[in-house]
Each structure stands twice: as structure tokens, then as C-alpha cells.
Amino acid sequence: MGYIDDVHEVFVNGVRIGLSGKFPPRFSTAYNVFRSYKLPADLLQENNTIAVRVYDAGGEGGIVHGNLGIMMDVDAVPLDVDLSGSWKFKIGQYAHENIDQLETWDNIIVPGNWEDQGYKNYDGYACYALEFKLEEKFVKDRMVLILGKIDDIDQVFVNGVLVGQSGEFKPQTVHERSNSWQQLRGYYLPQNLLSSSEKNTIVVRVYDGLQGGGIYSGSIGLISQDHYIQYWNKRRNK
């Protein structure tokens, strides 16, 4: 979508797929951010509509420059269940202890830096949460949770069970620079952890030490272990 002055949200066929900045009354500009958004394949139809809602606080206003269009993500993981889109979000070191009050949390688009979505210059702890339903066929299979790339350190719980983390959440070490922000997160889930009869909950606790912050790029969702192995085998053979 190029560069948009100051705040905007993007809809494709009526579904919001992206947000940058913060609309009034909690205004936060994102005029200098180049925006590209993940477009779920199941949203596309024979005829499609893109709508961009914009707020400008001064100066030029609107879609000001940059390339506009659709490109193929050749590195995308072929997910069985796409979980990208609107998640719940809260800043604070102990935000993950309040997931029983998700209705009071903010909404945030995943993937996407939190600094580009109204939390400009915020470095520190935050928590993402998502509740979702799942078809029974996926419950019976061995699944992998794909969370793209996360800046910097993450700790992931599914239905209250710790399924993986990158880096250590210890006061004496979290301020050290970590290279984990470059890693693609793929966490293998124990069998029988997911449910088809009740909502499933993903909680992602994050510490960011510098710039960006959060679940910022890549595929987000679930894939069977067999399909995940096939994906990596194809990548190795390229």
C-alpha cells in the first residue's frame, strides 16, 4: 500500500486486513511507514474490492507515494488454518495474567509491528491473545503452530500449556540484544491439546528491546506436521 499519511486501515471485500497508526482520540501517526499486508487467499473472489480508510492530521494526506499492488509471498507457509488478522493485545509485563478480561484489551492486526499500530516508541513487555474454534479433523492430527517472526523474545501458551519460547524471560537477561527476531517460529503441539468442542486460546508473551516490536511478519496459523515437513523439504530442494 506504499506510504499513507497519517493513519489508515485497509479492508478487502469488507474484511479488515491491516492497520497503521492510531485513529483519534488516541491519535498516533504512521505516515513514514511503508505498508504491506498479508492477504488471506480465502478472501479473494472473481471481483474484489479494496477500501482504505484514512485520517490525516496535517500536510499532504492520503496515499502519498510508493508501489501499490499485490505480490506473491514465495516464502509463505501453506497453512491448514490461517489465524492472521485481528488479535487481542495488551502492554505490560504481567498482561498475560489477565486473559480472562480480553474484552478490555485492544485489537491489533497480526502480523504487524506494534509500534506501527499505535504503540510508537514502546519497548518492553506485551501480550497477544486469540480465541478460535477448530474443526475436529485438525484436533486428531499432529499440528504445528506457526507464528512468523517475533521481535524480540516470545513465550507461547496454547490452552494454558507452554508449547515453546525463544530466549529467556529473566530480569537479568532480557535486556541483552537477542537475534531471535530473525527466526521463524514453528512450535510443535502435543497431541490432544487442541479442542473441537470448546474455544482454543493462544497467548503469546513478548519482550521487545528495540524498535518494531511484536509478531511482525510471516505466516500465522496451524499446519499439520506432515505438511510442515513437506514445506521444509521443498525449500531445501530449491
Domain boundaries, the chain: 3-65, 81-236
Residue 121, sorted as left (phi over 0), alpha (psi -120 to 50) or beta, turns out to be left
pLDDT above 80: residue 229: yes
Supply the pTM of this predicted model: 0.83
For range 35-56, the mean pLDDT: 90
Architecture of domain 81-236: Sandwich (2.60)
Length of the chain: 238
Using alpha carbons, select from 67, 55, 48 the residue that is nearest to residue 8: 55
At 93-141, the pLDDT tens digits run 888 888 888 999 999 999 999 998 989 889 999 999 999 999 998 988 8
For range 145-152, the mean pLDDT: 94
- Long-range CB pairs of 50-53 (<8 Å, 24+ gap) are 50/10, 50/11, 50/12, 51/10, 51/11, 51/12, 52/1, 52/4, 52/8, 52/9, 52/10, 52/11, 53/8, 53/9, 53/10, 53/11
Average pLDDT, the chain: 89
Which of the four pLDDT bands, split at 50, 70 and 90, describes residue 238? Answer: low
Strand order in the sheet with 7-12: 15-20, 7-12, 50-55
Give me the pLDDT at residue 110, please: 94
What backbone phi and psi angles, to 5 degrees, belong to 49? -125, 125
Residue 217 to residue 90: CA distance in whole angstroms: 19
Q: Between residues 34 and 7, which one has the greater pLDDT?
A: 7
